[in-house]
Amino acid sequence: MEVLDLKLLNYRNFANVNITFDPSGVLLYGKNGVGKTNILEAISFFAFGKSIKLNKDNELINFSKAFFRLEANFKLKSSKHFFEAAAYKNKKILKMDNEKISKISDLFKYIKTIYFSPEDINIISSAPSFRRKFLDIALSQYSFKYMETLRNYHRILKQRNALLKTEFSREEKQAWDQQLIEFTAKIEQQRLNYLSKFTPILTKYYNNVTGESEKLQLKYKYSFPTNGKQIDTDFTEHLAKIELQEIELQRTLAGPHLSDLDFSINGYSSRKYSSQGQMRSIAIAAKLVQAELISQNKEDLPILMFDDVLADLDEIRSARILDMFSDKHQIFIATPNKKIYERFNLPEIDVEKLTDSWN
């Protein structure tokens, strides 16, 4: 998978720019604030249908303008496809080969980008929501079936939570409970299957990055008592036990939306005991495994984007990471210090010198 070119109109700080990319990728350099991250964000917009940084599309529009527009040609499984994205006020338009994409989530079928940023440390150090988000995105890129299951689960969860705020009948609640149980079992089983592939590779990649021989482990933490063998039965029993509490608090108190991942090194929780360097290395290793599993599952390889994340590591660790993938994936690196990456011989773009070139 490759992005061949990118056009930006009224996007962030770019009024009107056209960029062509090499199959190997590019080194985007320039001082902070010139728009290096904005280019990576624009490419990733075609993978997720939204910004990787902001929640609202109108915040991406160039100052004083009414809309933004992005165009890009991607090479997918040796075929060229044309993608468009635009936003005006509260409206968004996404197209592939001039055909409108009705569901944003459909983009997960086509474009796969793995975005590495300094904020990835939150996957290890911060709240469970960061780890769930990482797992859900990774699994959705690996399997679109999971994306559909997750979407249905959140629809059911929303409806059930709304029901708990009303004077409901026993029959109504039982109907929503049954759907919640069904999709909880599906999600948890798909997560377990994915993690069974993910976890064995994680330690290997972590040790490749760090040069150490530490035992990195990953455990899945359910939000209800289960050994993972009879998920539907265990979840049904737990819902019965917490029913009065859920009715009192008017929300669903167990399910995949409250699960967590526990990373540990040599038996000690990484969130509590690992150093900043260890946590950054674990987060990078986790993203590398995400890319590896997509590569194994698809005929195409995801695009890798490093948003100055390697600057936080020493030169040896940075080299190990890029050496693992540079001969396979299209790689984008954004940095204010291009000297760190000169040995990889990527084509270079001085972002500050990009000029208006919209055709």
Neighbours of 163 (CB within 10 A): 18
In tens, the pLDDT along 49-59 reads: 999 988 889 89
**Statement: 1-112+301-359 belongs to CATH 1.10.645.10:** no
Looking at per-residue pLDDT, the higher value among 160 and 208 belongs to: 160
What does the pLDDT read at residue 356?
Answer: 62
Vertex 271, ends 269 and 272: CA angle to 5°? 70
Sign, Cα dihedral of 2, 8, 13, 15? positive
In tens, the pLDDT along 2-32 reads: 999 999 999 999 999 999 999 999 999 999 9
- 115: confidence class by pLDDT, cuts 50, 70, 90: very high
Q: Which two tokens stand for residue 170?
A: 């026993």
Helix, strand, coil percentages, rounded to 5, for the chain: 50, 25, 25
pTM for the model stands at 0.92
Give the Cα separation of 347 and 358 in Å (integer).
22
Q: Which of the listed CATH numbers 1.10.1270.20, 1.20.1050.90, 3.40.50.300, 1.10.3720.10 matches domain 114-297?
A: 1.20.1050.90
In tens, the pLDDT along 120-163 reads: 999 999 999 999 999 999 999 999 999 999 999 999 999 999 99
What does the pLDDT read at residue 327?
Answer: 73
Measured CA distances, 73 to 70, 84, 96, 145, 319 (Å)? 10, 9, 10, 26, 30
What does the pLDDT read at residue 145?
Answer: 94
Domain-wise residue ranges, the chain:
1-112+301-359, 114-297
Q: Which amino acid is at 289?
A: V
Give the Cα separation of 87 and 66 in Å (integer).
9
What does the pLDDT read at residue 359?
Answer: 41
Give the Cα separation of 180 and 240 in Å (integer).
13
